[in-house]
Structure 1
Amino acid sequence: MAAAAVLEAGSVRHFEELLQKSDKSLLVVHFWAPWAPQCSQMNEVMAELVKVQPGVTFVKLEAEAIPEVSEKYEITSVPTFLFFKNSQKIDKLDGAHAPELTKRVQRHASNASFPATSNSAPKEDLNERLKKLINVAPCMLFMKGSPQEPRCGFSRQILDILNKHKLQFSSFDILSDEVVRQGLKTFSNWPTYPQLYINGELIGGLDIVKELEASGELETMCPKAQSLEDRLKALINKASVILFMKGNKQMAKCGFSRQILEILNNAGVDYETFDILEDEEVRQGLKSYSNWPTYPQLYVKGELIGGLDIVKELKESGELASVLKSGH
């Protein structure tokens, strides 16, 4: 019999086929990138684990090669490990922690014969995750779809109310995550969506928001949204050096962004990043604000330096270090 091996998911369809196998056993998926040395180390750890855990399916998935899966499961850095049973995500481990990976594989594998719901540890993890999500912003809307594309009439109506009063809020698409969708109903004892939370407390659904609007209370409960221009000004001045890019420091989501990260990392300067894929308003608004149509965009002390070509030119001419310090 051939020795067990780590499988490689090569496409969305292949990943979904592997996910179906988690109905019978534990599935461990390593979201990795070939340019990250920690990922290679963790692939070696998985190759050892597969020998001692023959009942567990181990899969490598190149995070940037199959972005649909990475985005669905909110993978923001590599290496990240997701654990699945019965086609449901039951646990997540960020980073290259070989002992912790081994421990969790053993723990979840020993519970493999039981349905995922009987495992108490992921239940606690889910509650922690829901608490974090509810507190992402002072005003948090759990809805079907996104503010740009609401996917039900109730969600659209509640958006209209929040936008009419220019209230600042963040949102979460419950259609993108079945575990959150079901878990939040139980967690908050509220069976329907949309759900609006303010300062971590459930306010209610559309009917209650309508009542609060009618009484004038809603205006005082949520912070007012900044104008887009004020928001962009604040963002480009958030750090002395800030890069607006596709992805983040840990995981670039386009080749140009990856190249500019390498240059900045080699320049030995502190910088922050902003993922324009996560905020369509900023993505479109910054193009007009700075009159620069493409990404990545690098700012130093609130001034636009330019994109990859300009940063490359500055590096080649030896001027990059002084520009990163002074902005000129």
Structure 2
Amino acid sequence: MQRRLPSVGHRRTAHWTPFPLRSLLVVHFWAPWAPQCAQMNDVMAELAKEHLQVSFVKLEAEAVPEVSEKYEISSVPTFLFFKNSQKIDRLDGAHAPELTRKVERHACSGSFPPSAAEQPKEELSVRLKKLTHAAPCMLFMKGTPQEPRCGFSKQMVEILHKHNIQFSSFDIFSDEEVRQGLKAYSNWPTYPQLYVSGELIGGLDIIKELEASDELDTICPKAPKLEERLKVLTNQAAVMLFMKGNKQEAKCGFSKQILEILNSTGIEYETFDILEDEEVRQGLKAYSSWPTYPQLYVKGELVGGLDIVKELKENGELLPILRGEN
């Protein structure tokens, strides 16, 4: 496979004539030293069996630095989606469900990217409006607050945290349509971009100016007290699991076991990675009077940890509780 990388890289910079003109092409930028890449290779192999019309290619990111730089590949695994020799989407990280969803969506979306008649610009504008209004303070950045993928985004996050500003974020690497569309929507060509109440405030330089003039604190909403924040988090979904890691990758054996139990029930649930927020990690212990993780909540009420969940499953009580029947 490594021997084929230079030729694949060459195809990507020109016309991909070896692939059918109308096919969807999924390119996995990977590294042999990253175990999550091996896992996602297995996912791709399964998807290839289900979608025979889709071409899947692995590209060792460090072996083709020019290609990686061109497509801003800063971490692995990263997946790029091409149709008609045009990049149409992107996925950063080892997110098997999201990769499956994107492959299915693009494979079934027709031979060519949607035309203007099929997907008018107005639809994208509506989506962007919803995203910019998704929280009182929205940061569109490269990466996440926990793992910024450019220096400007990192500085922006540091400023917001320093001023105890409550914000939500959107990783523009995760959606190429949003990444390009927001530039025109906001008439602002670079990232990060900060919105308050759906209105663009500006990029890093503007935020630095507002900070220097003491205006930033009056413009952006402050984070709530910890107890208020924990109440909101525990009620974020009907079933909320606070764990080490996330649905795609548990980072401790107890969290892995409870994921397996919840997945076996077929009940929808959301997770919160307590390793990414020390304030929540420590604060929730006191809030719930429960000293360990994972912790499972239903409608904002603590059910318990792994041992409790195991007992409930063995007694046949877990499913009714998750459904809110008890």
Q: 1:304 to 1:104 in 2, by over 3 A?
A: closer
Deviations 1:207-252 (A, max 9, x none): 332443455543333222123332122322456643345556xxx5
Structure 2 residue corresponding to 1:227, chosen from 225, 228, 232: 225
CA distance in 2, matches of 1:247, 1:227: 25
Look up the match of 2:85. 86
Structure 1 Cα separation of the partners of residues 228 and 204 of structure 2: 30
Describe the shift of the 1:104–1:166 C-alpha distance in structure 2 as closer, same or farther (beyond 3 A): same
User: In structure 1, how many angstroms separate the alpha carbons of the residues matched to 2:136 and 2:10?
Assistant: 36
**In the aligned structure 2, how far is the partner of 1:20 from the partner of 1:228?**
52
For this pair of structures, how many residues does the alignment match?
A: 268
Note closer, same or farther for the CA distance 1:293–1:278 as it changes in structure 2 (3 Å cut). Answer: closer
Aligned residue number for residue 160 of structure 2: 162
1:180-228 CA-partner distances (Å, limit 9, x unpaired): 4444333322233332112222111233324434555433332221233
Aligned to 1:190: 188
Report the residue type matching 1:234 in the other structure: V
Contact 1:138 1:169 in 2 (8 A): yes
Residues 145 and 175 in structure 1, CA contact (< 8 A), matched pair in contact too: yes
Q: Does 1:299 align with 2:297?
A: yes
Equivalent residue, structure 1, for 2:24: 27
Letter in 2 for 1:281: D
- Counterparts of 2:129 and 2:100 in 1: how far apart (Å)? 19
Within 5 Å, which residues of 2 pair with 1:196-275?
A: 196-238=194-236, 241-244=239-242, 247=246, 253-254=249-250, 255-265=256-266, 273-275=269-271
Q: Report the TM-score when normalising by structure 2.
A: 0.58
1:255-307 CA distance string (max 9 Å, x none): 53542224543xxxxx6622325992277456644545444x31245443334
Evaluate the alpha carbon distance shift between residue 240 and residue 156 of structure 1 in structure 2; reply closer, same or farther with a 3 A threshold: closer
Measure the CA separation in 2 of the matches of 1:326 and 1:182.
42
Does residue 276 of structure 1 match 2:272? Answer: yes
Which consecutive unaligned segments of at least 5 residues does structure 1 have?
Answer: 1-9, 34-38, 51-56, 62-67, 75-81, 112-118, 266-270
Q: Aligned pair in 2 of structure 1 residues 194, 259: CA closer, same or farther (>3 Å)? A: closer
- Percentage of identical aligned residues: 47
1:149 deviates by 4.4
CA distance in 1 between counterparts of 2:183 and 2:323 reads 50
Give the CA deviation at 1:168: 1.0
Deviations 1:163-189 (A, max 9, x none): 333221122344566664444333322
Q: Over the residues paired in the alignment, what is the CA RMSD in angstroms?
A: 5.1
Q: What pairs with 1:302-317 in structure 2 (closer than 5 Å)? A: 302-317=300-315
AA at the equivalent of 2:169: S
Structure 1 residues 285, 129: closer, same or farther in 2, change over 3 A? farther
Instruction: Give the structure 2 partner of residue 78 of structure 1.
Output: none
